[in-house]
Amino acid sequence: MSQRVLDGWAFLSGVLAVAFGVLAGELLAGWLSPSVSPVSAVGSMVIDGLPPGVKDLAISLFGTADKVVFLLVMAVVIGVAAGLAGVFEAHRKNAGWLLVAGFGLLGAAAVFARAQGNTVALAPPVVAALLSVALLRIAIARLRDWRTAQADPTVSLETGRRRFFQVLGASAAGALLTGLATGVVRGSVASYQAARDKLKLPAPAEPAAPIPAAAQLEVPGLRPLVIPNDQFYRIDTALAVPVINPDDWQLKITGMVDREVSITMAELLAQPMIERYVTIACVSNEVGGDLIGNARWLGWPVREFLARAGVQPGADMVLSRSQDGFTASTPIEALTDDRDSIIAVGMNGQLLPLEHGFPARLIVPGLYGYVSATKWLTELKVTTFQADLAYWSTRGWSERGPIKQSSRIDTPRSGAAVSSGKLVLAGSAWAQTTGISEVQVQVDDGQWQSATLAAGISKDTWVQWSAAVEVAPGQHRVQVRSVDAAGQPQRAEYAAPAPDGSSGYHAIRINAQ
């Protein structure tokens, strides 16, 4: 057996041994700690350590698919590292398994941090490491026996080869079966799902006003006025969606309060709920981007929960904490004024979907999500901006994050071929907590023309618009701008999303024929 062939079998042995161990750990985590798995914990730790620019680039390149891309890259990296561990073990006894054990310790540390000290959650990474090490050592030992048999006529070559492939086959079969089982367990989590299925959304004490008939324009290619749950954008720091048993969930208020208070899911659902249409946006949304959506939210006003605790003088911020470790710093006035910030439990008439924050999340009109829209909510800490820093505040983003007034062309798409003559443009504009009073469009360097505004829902939601323009044959540049209800025009100067949100006029290019 040549050295190249030996290294190849050793590499494959490492990959299969670690794959079996990692998947077994994920399977065990599905039973013991569904909200925190070894892979998601390590991945989240890596993401937390990346420079902010890398994360911004990933979101700009891949949008809501950024987590899928990261997991694929992570799988490749783990596979290569596992294969190299196999090669190291084949070249020098104990070198490879010690490397695998080191990664196991890293996984345990990551899980312990994410699970907030829950020792039960340590079992999956420990089991993953032990299985990976054991299989790797056995496989490489059998590989050495096979190689020895080739040079020693007193040893059966067939026996050595067979024993190696038995270990290799067992590792492959184990990885496949545990992978399938993990998918089933994590896809169902029966006890958690049963608890969720028992929950019923209460009727709102204050229902949302009916949407005016003229609020939704019937223009092909225009995005819906209310985005369905399965089409709503998702940007967060959770690699795996936390699975939370609503029977065990509690939301607590801590910090600068007269008394610490908490509330269970049953108690929360018993509160007088309000229902509001609110448009929320991600600060990473580029000009004209789709990391923004409008939905009908049901929840309990945050100000009422804070009043139970009694906010102490001097507090100017609430640090909200997610089950996955994310934190957001919200100006306290945004949670206590009349803008109807809520602890949301419902979205478009349904319980919050898992990926959008079940059991509860924050919805704060007028602020970007990174300072307000915490999902999988577990704690509200009343504090100050000076005393506490939130997740993104330590990564170069601004402190308070008000959503900037903006407008967007939905149809036609940039680069589209259209017919010359009359062309219908349509899109949305938003200026949360203020509202939109006017939208204008421009073709090339011509005059700005007023668009027709739809009826709109409220000052906290986007409004649709349409405009008919004349275009001659050829290439054209079309752009849009808006004016809010206070008479403030949209900012024309372009700014990238970092550090406080993008700005500038959205422009498209079309080819009229």
Would you say 273 and 302 are in contact if contact means Cβ atoms under 8 Å apart? no
**DSSP 3-state assignment of 39?**
helix
Label residue 364 by pLDDT band (50, 70, 90). very high
> 509 - beta bridge partners?
477
Q: What is the pLDDT of residues 94-136, one digit of tens each?
A: 888 898 998 888 888 888 777 655 677 788 889 889 999 999 9
Q: Show the CA angle centred on residue 394, arms to residues 388 and 399, nearest 5°.
A: 70
Give start-end residues of each CATH 2.60.40.650 domain in the chain: 406-512
Q: What is the tens place of the pLDDT at every residue in 302-361?
A: 999 999 999 999 999 999 999 888 999 999 999 999 999 999 999 999 999 999 999 999
pLDDT higher than threshold 70 for residue 153: no
Instruction: Quote the pLDDT of residue 324.
Output: 84
- Mean pLDDT for the chain? 90
Provide the pLDDT for residue 116: 56
Output the CATH code of domain 213-395: 3.90.420.10
The CATH architecture to which 406-512 belongs is: Sandwich (2.60)
CATH 3.90.420.10, the chain: domain bounds: 213-395
Tell how many helices (H) and how many strands (E) occur in the chain: 11, 19
Q: Report how far apart, in Å, the C-alpha atoms of 342 and of each of 118, 276, 287, 395, 487 are.
A: 29, 9, 27, 26, 28
The confidence score (pLDDT) of residue 45 equals 78
- Is the pLDDT confidence value at 190 over 60? no
pLDDT-derived band of residue 56, with 50, 70 and 90 as boundaries?
low
Write down the pTM of the prediction: 0.78
